[in-house]
Amino acid sequence: MRFNAKDLALLAKRPSGCFDKEGKLKICRVVGDEKLIEPRERWCRLKGNLLFLMKNKSSEASEVVILERCWVVEFRSKTDVSIILKFQSGEPDLYLEAASKPDCEAWAVALGEANSEGLRNKIQQLQRLIMEIKEERAADEARQFLPSSQVDSLREPQFTSIQRIANEPKLEFSLACKGLVAATRDRKLNTFIQVSVVHPAEHILTRYSSTEIVEGTRDPLFLTGVTFPPEYPIYEETKIKLTVYDVKDKSQGTVRTSVLPDHKEPRADVGRSFLGYTTFTVGDLVKSKEQQLTLTLRTSDGGKTVGTIEVNLVKMGEFEDGEMGHITTDAQDQKFLCFLPLKSCSCGFLSATCAHNTENLERMTDRRAKEECALVHECTAPEGLSGKDNLPSLNAVLKNPICKLYRFPTSDNKWMRIREQMAETTLSFHVPKELINLHIKEDMRRNQELKDLGELAPHWDNMRKSVIAHCDQMLSMYQDTLAELGKHTGSSFKSSCSKGEKTLEFIPINLHLQRMHVHSPRLKDALYDVITVGAPAAHFQGFKNGGLRKLLSKFEAERRNTGYQCIYYSPENTAKAKEVLSNINHLQPLISSHADLLLNSASQHSPDSLKNSLKMLSEKTELFVHAFKDQLVRSALLALYTARPGCVLKKPAVPRNSAEEGDDLKHQDHPSQIKRQDSIPHHSEYDEEEWDRVWANVGKSLNCVIAMVDRLLEKDNSSKIKEGESDPSAADCKVLHAGGDWYEQLYPLVITLKDCMGEVVTRAKQSMAFVLLQELACGLPQCLMLTLRRDIVFSQALAGLVCGFIIKLHTSLHDQGFLQQLHTVGLLVQYEGLLSTYSEEAGMLEDMAVGISDLQKVMFKVIEAKSEDFLPIITGRREHYVIEVQLPAKMFELLPQEIKEGKLLRMYPVLFNVGINEQQTLAERFGDTTLQENINQENLELLKEYYNLFTEKMPPDCLPHFQEQNDLKGLLENLHQNIQAKRRKNVEIMWLAATICRKLNGVRFTCCKSAKDRTSMSVTLEQCSILRDEHQLHKDFFIRALDCMRREGCRIENVLKNVKCRKYAFNMIQLMAFPKYYRPPEGTYGKADT
């Protein structure tokens, strides 16, 4: 390129107002990461694509930098004020350092827009702006002359919609190129296609997605397709642009495939070169005879042909023909990496930190040939998955779906199609808000019960005041958190960057449904679901002192040594006290209601209604009486009495046994014989048998009511027999008179029953509240802080569980075997953990283990929805929760009778953890892995317990894909051996646990710190392993399929949603410690804030 030196010198000396930007910068040349000389201060002037470097403002230009075929690298840290100019020609980079961060950002923008491409972008933006202004003017002029109806139609142009099945993607197509022309004859092309969309109403080009990179061929066949979700505004008039690029350096990063404005896109010349482009409308593809288009690729000026591109419309359920030879050619022309068998290799990876010898690998390979796992969940009723009936309930739970399409060859040279889907869920916020609301109500009741304890001795009274003060502070914190969550708007998930925010600490991290829908030639459609979520942990509170597992153990040990200040009650007793209080609050209003119904039946003289009311009253009262058959209530009453001012104890002369009390219950016939007891005395002698008499009075009162009803019904029957042939009018008068007699005779007995029950409730509530007072007083403030931490962790775990249960229920409504298993045995919920046992992640693992274990307290109940609100309803307390899942009427009718009648469904959560990162290497070499070993061993026992329960209660034919040579018992034994072996990073533990879970119709979870990077590696590996083992994925395409899903699949979109960057947060040193198949493809990882 030639320049006139004199003209450049004159241009450099022009007045300041003539330049695009000027100022002082420190400048030097850089090779690699090393500066050739120390940066020197220069006065810099930018004019167009010329950057003049001068010693000072008045001197002549010492150097001119031409800003073409280069790009700007800006460092995003808050403190860095430097940028680098990189040149495609290979000359040394130019390092520029500004005086401040704003100045640095201004220079980065100015330099980035200085070259000819930046000028073209400005011209395009101005052209779009002119077009928009013209359209607005034309529309304004038209409105002045058109009727209102035509004005409305002009405001909203009518386009031809694409008719698709409900909840299915609007449009899907696959791509392939042939005869691509390289710049040089010997150049081996590494190509990908970028897909852009031009909406007919806006005329703005939006980059939508891209394919994977196919290496070393001029006839690339792309496995990654293009899919448009149901809500995407695409019409027959929509234009689609396909641009083919040749990738020169994959390490520069992947192509952005999210829908973002053009100015947010990476520069087009970074590590790739333009080959050609073509366009077509959606209507051309949809209406084509063979639903296939063959288009010519042309250069940017439209003159030269550089190859052809084939676009094939895809419909799940139909197969492509005529491409079998293309697969073979493609496989022969391209090089593929060999891979080790995944399902049997105990440590199938080679790295600097862990490598097994070849004999071990060969042994594992041989064993895999004998052990084929069956993981298929067949879509036995596709209409149940995509029908209109279940759309409202699913749409209430799942939001913002992302869909990817692939086509992979099978071992017999057939195509199978895979649709990968990922969706966030509204339950991420709904469940925590419901749970916090329950915590607030429960804590308010507890605080009131503490206040209602009555007069206490000074020591105990001061203790109560301190406890109530702390509890009020905690209650206020819960209320503030709920108020902040109520203000939340926007997306339905918490990003990994927000895991340390206090206002969001109850929200699960990055909770998503990951689904793979497989349609293969010879098998039924199959769905594979995994719930991905960050490990439930209290990130805001931190892990300096460990997690819940350690903190709870330490707290319990310290609480035993509280001395004279308070009375120690074991965790079992405090849990029993909470259960008694819960039963009281639940049963007392029910008994009162049934007693009123009994009196109402008596006033109406209705024998049948009287019998039914009495039956319900008896059942609830017996449950009420049984709730107090515990020594804890008696001992707590005595402890409470000793806490009263001036108490005196009195030993009973003759102890009474339960048999005598039973005789009293049977022979007591009238309430006048029952001695009413006063409330617990303060300054009088306390009789330890007093509680037994008060408690027994409820049963005696009930017996009196039963006896009176029997007597009334017997008299009524005998009077009907005697007066059967009497005057009807006289009989009616007697009936009315008898009705009044029934009510009058039953009323005093019912009032006595209520009074006795009220007395029992008062005493029991006070005694149990005193037990809770001791629990709180013994550990202030640690007790409340541990409760808060446990609530936070449990809230995150519960949100994921509710999502997993609802999705599993919807996909299995037509599976009668699963539904029988659900109400007979319960649901297995298997968590796969990828946390290390080193530093903070050890604390996260301790939190996660307790949170998942607490899910055993959760029961599910399926009810029929009475409105359009299908979100689940949560009831209960901290020791026992019931989740009511609402289904539309048509779906509810598909359930077994037991579930429709409200049977509670049990959950069996298990956790298996294997750390895989570089921190786990440190833990294995220099730290401690006992925590992981103990967790895996404990949960293996829980898994065996569920398996034994399953085999006892379920017939063998209910087990899907049961194979004699590889049954569940053998898999469990294999899992047991791997856990006992204590090998480093033994990821086979996770594979075996996942296999067992799917065989037992369980729900799968995969977790790491933020469910973003390690989780993505695990989920994609599991999906490709299933395709290989269950759907005959061609062995030469395993690695390529894995790279496709990691480079262009849903998981890289998940990374983008979380950190606004399409880079997995790994570096090369970290990946050296990862198992081989957990490493992302080149160009997809690097520095990213997480």
* Residues sharing a CB contact under 8 Å with residue 966, sequence separation 6 or more, in sequence order: 370, 371, 372, 373
Q: Is the pLDDT of residue 935 over 80?
A: yes
Three-class SS state of 981: helix
Say what the pLDDT of residue 511 is: 96
- Render the burial of 414-434: b for 16+ CB within 10 Å, e for the rest: bbbbbbbbbbbbbbbbbbbbb
Distance CA 1011, CA 800 (A): 12
* Residues sharing a CB contact under 8 Å with residue 1079, sequence separation 6 or more, in sequence order: 1017, 1066, 1071
pLDDT band with cut points at 50, 70 and 90 for residue 525 = confident
Q: What is the mean pLDDT of residues 754-768?
A: 87
Q: Is the pLDDT of residue 773 over 60?
A: yes
Choose from 261-275, 281-295, 730-744, 840-854 the range with maximum mean pLDDT: 840-854
pLDDT band with cut points at 50, 70 and 90 for residue 110 = confident
Say what the pLDDT of residue 340 is: 30
91-105, 874-888, 905-919, 997-1011: range with lowest mean pLDDT: 91-105
pLDDT band with cut points at 50, 70 and 90 for residue 263 = very low
Say what the pLDDT of residue 339 is: 30
Say what the pLDDT of residue 188 is: 84
Residue 604 sits at the vertex; the CA angle it makes with 601 and 609, to the nearest 5 degrees, is 35
Name the more confident of 977 and 1086.
Answer: 977
Distance CA 702, CA 211 (A): 76
Residue with tokens 């100019």: 85
257-261, 442-446, 494-498, 1012-1016: range with lowest mean pLDDT: 257-261
Say what the pLDDT of residue 620 is: 85
Say what the pLDDT of residue 1066 is: 92
Say what the pLDDT of residue 242 is: 94
pLDDT band with cut points at 50, 70 and 90 for residue 929 = very high
Q: How distant, in Å, are the alpha carbons of 599, 616, 718, 736 from that of 609?
A: 10, 11, 19, 16
Say what the pLDDT of residue 561 is: 72
Name the more confident of 680 and 593.
Answer: 593
* % of the chain beyond a pLDDT of 70: 79
Q: Which tokens sit at 35?
A: 């500066």
pTM above 0.85, yes or no: no
Say what the pLDDT of residue 78 is: 63
Mean pLDDT of the chain: 80
Say what the pLDDT of residue 582 is: 85
- Of 860, 836, 843, the residue nearest 925 (C-alpha): 836
pLDDT band with cut points at 50, 70 and 90 for residue 803 = very high
Distance CA 329, CA 542 (A): 55
Choose from 590-604, 672-686, 777-791, 834-848 the range with maximum mean pLDDT: 834-848
88-102, 346-360, 445-459, 817-831: range with lowest mean pLDDT: 346-360
pLDDT band with cut points at 50, 70 and 90 for residue 939 = very high
Distance CA 905, CA 856 (A): 11
681-690, 701-710, 978-987, 1057-1066: range with lowest mean pLDDT: 681-690
* % of the chain beyond a pLDDT of 90: 40
- Residue 685: Cβ-neighbour burial (10 angstroms; 0-12, 13-18, 19+): exposed
Which pLDDT tens digit goes with each residue over 678-713? 333 344 455 667 777 787 888 888 889 889 888 888
Which pLDDT tens digit goes with each residue over 142-182? 444 444 444 444 444 567 777 656 667 888 999 999 999 88
Catalytic positions: 1008
Q: Which tokens sit at 874?
A: 């949560």
